[in-house]
Amino acid sequence: MECCQARREARFFTASSLVMRLRRARDEGRLDRELARIGHADLLVIDELGFLPLDADGARLLFQVVSEAYERQSVVLTTNLEFSRWGTVFGDDQMAAAVIDRVVHHGRLLQFHGESYRLTHALMQDGGAQR
């Protein structure tokens, strides 16, 4: 939010939507332009990493984004998976280790515990719908 309030460019994607966007760009012969557009943002947020599985091709595309962002732009990754399970996300322990290496080098790990914000503020509570 502070990035946007400071009028800095921020881009937000779910991991799966980012991979789909990159695949489409590659298939249309414009992957380099899409990567440049994504890399232009001051802040890149990749949400729900590991929520949906990635195939090897998608993992490579996501690795490319993280690798190009390394030391050039701020990246926020959200996930509910500990690092030891990222190999299953990327389908390759070595690729996962390379991503983790880049993320933790200058990164900060924030862990949240407690009740989900969405559950706490859900319209439906106690099994009944709010009318």
Dihedrals φ, ψ of 64, to 5°?
A: -60, -40
Report the percent of the chain where pLDDT is more than 90.
79
Residue-wise pLDDT tens digits, 68-102: 999 999 999 999 999 999 999 999 999 999 999 99
Which residue ranges form the domains of the chain, and what is each CATH number? 2-120 (3.40.50.300)
* pLDDT at 127 > cutoff 80: no
How does strand 74-77 pair with strand 43-47? parallel
pTM of the complete model: 0.86
Rounded mean pLDDT, 58-63: 96
Cβ proximity of 62 and 18 under 8 Å:
yes
Handedness of CA 2, 32, 66, 13 (dihedral sign): positive
